[in-house]
């Protein structure tokens, strides 16, 4: 595996592959890899000739400076895992290369950024995400880019942006990988104390209780949200948001007909966690 640190070097490394007509699979990440990241790399490896993973803790998408400072980092461990997954190029640029002095351009996606993560973390979060993903797409020029359903709104924002800006990349969204007890894998989970790790199950427990209720015939979103909130409260966790929305537009849904996205965010032991499921009325 080749580790490259500059935009010029990633272009140089990819040039012969592009000329040979090889497909490039790309997995953008902020590092501290877990099985969720590995699943994206594996999917890229299965479907692409060349696999590029970027490792960049993007400062502009952090609304909370202490979250940025506390974000876990371990490049050596990440490089070992990426290499095991058959990644060809690990692209780890410096912030000064991504945002050189005088940097003055942003990508603003509207509508699908206004709810949930956008409403709680502020508009700057998805401006940071869209801008860095657009830049990474221009640097790597992948055939396909792989994102996790764990960050459902982010995947929707990236899809919207690539369509609206005619960026020639296919977006593939891969399922959320969970711990055996249901907790969605996240780089932030290492910051949970033992007690908070237990409490963190409130999110997945609330979502799976709603899935079970839908399977049992409940269709009223208010009823589903009230009982999911009660599940969380029973574990001592208050959601920052808990919503059932259209998976395409993120508009609130009153009744489940077909598919709807149920998404939750909560602070548990000082760590902000998110999770979601697709509710399907059969």
Q: Kindly list the catalytic residues.
A: 37
C-beta closer to ligand AMP: residue 154 or 225: 154
Q: Does 40 bind ligand AMP (CB under 6 A)?
A: yes
* Given 48, 54, 131, 187, the residue binding ligand AMP (CB under 6 A): 187
State the nearest-atom distance from the C-beta of 103 to ligand AMP, in Å.
21
Q: Does 150 bind ligand AMP (CB under 6 A)?
A: yes
Pick out residues in 157-186 that bind ligand AMP (CB under 6 A): 174, 176-177, 184-186
Dig out the tokens for 54 from the structure.
């970027």
C-beta closer to ligand AMP: residue 116 or 256: 116
Confirm if 40 and 148 have CB atoms less than 8 A apart. Answer: yes
- CB neighbours of 250 closer than 8 A, spacing ≥ 6? 111, 112, 114, 115, 116, 153, 156, 261
C-beta closer to ligand AMP: residue 46 or 226: 46
Q: Does 25 bind ligand AMP (CB under 6 A)?
A: no
Q: Does 148 bind ligand AMP (CB under 6 A)?
A: yes
Confirm if 187 and 32 have CB atoms less than 8 A apart. Answer: yes
Stretch that binds ligand AMP, among 9-17, 29-37, 205-213, 252-260 (CB under 6 A): 29-37
Stretch that binds ligand AMP, among 9-17, 28-36, 215-223, 254-262 (CB under 6 A): 28-36
- Other Cβ atoms less than 10 A from the Cβ of 166: the count is 6
Pick out residues in 99-128 that bind ligand AMP (CB under 6 A): none
State the nearest-atom distance from the C-beta of 255 to ligand AMP, in Å.
28
Confirm if 174 and 39 have CB atoms less than 8 A apart. Answer: yes
State the nearest-atom distance from the C-beta of 184 to ligand AMP, in Å.
5
C-beta closer to ligand AMP: residue 184 or 221: 184
- CB neighbours of 87 closer than 8 A, spacing ≥ 6? 1, 27, 41, 44, 45, 51, 52, 53
- Quickly list H helices, 141-193: 152-164
Give dist(CA 200, CA 222) in Å, integer: 23
Euclidean distance between the first and the last CA atom of the chain, given in angstroms as a whole number: 45
- Other Cβ atoms less than 10 A from the Cβ of 8: the count is 11
* Given 78, 85, 151, 243, the residue binding ligand AMP (CB under 6 A): 151
Confirm if 24 and 143 have CB atoms less than 8 A apart. Answer: yes
C-beta closer to ligand AMP: residue 44 or 237: 44
Can you give the binding site for ligand AMP, defined by CB under 6 A?
Answer: 29-30, 36-37, 39-40, 147-148, 150-151, 174, 176-177, 184-187
């Amino acid at each position: 595996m080749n580790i490259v640190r500059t935009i010029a070097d990633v272009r140089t490394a990819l040039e012969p592959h592009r000329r040979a007509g090889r497909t490039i699979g790309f997995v953008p990440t902020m590092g501290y890899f877990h099985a969720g990241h590995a699943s994206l790399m594996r999917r890229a490896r299965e479907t692409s000739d060349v696999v590029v993973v970027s490792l960049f803790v993007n400062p502009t998408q952090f609304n909370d400076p202490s979250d940025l400072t506390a974000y876990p980092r371990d490049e050596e461990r990440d490089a070992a895992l990426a290499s095991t997954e058959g990644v060809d190029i690990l692209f780890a640029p410096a912030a000064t290369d991504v945002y050189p002095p005088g940097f003055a351009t942003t990508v603003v996606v509207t509508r699908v950024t206004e709810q949930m993560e956008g409403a709680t973390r502020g508009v700057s979060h998805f401006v940071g995400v869209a801008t860095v993903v657009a830049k990474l797409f221009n640097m790597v020029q992948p055939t396909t880019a792989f994102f996790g359903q764990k960050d459902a709104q982010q995947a929707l924002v990236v899809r919207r942006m690539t369509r609206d800006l005619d960026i020639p990349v296919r977006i593939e969204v891969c399922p959320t990988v969970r711990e055996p007890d249901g907790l969605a894998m996240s780089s932030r989970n290492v910051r949970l104390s033992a007690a908070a790790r237990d409490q963190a199950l409130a999110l997945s427990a609330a979502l799976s209780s709603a899935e079970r209720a839908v399977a049992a015939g409940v269709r009223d979103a208010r009823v589903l949200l009230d009982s999911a909130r009660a599940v969380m409260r029973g574990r001592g966790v208050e959601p920052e948001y808990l919503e059932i929305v259209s998976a395409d537009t993120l508009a609130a849904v009153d009744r489940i007909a077909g598919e709807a996205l149920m998404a939750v965010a909560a602070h548990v032991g000082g760590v902000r966690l998110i999770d979601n499921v697709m509710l399907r009325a059969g």
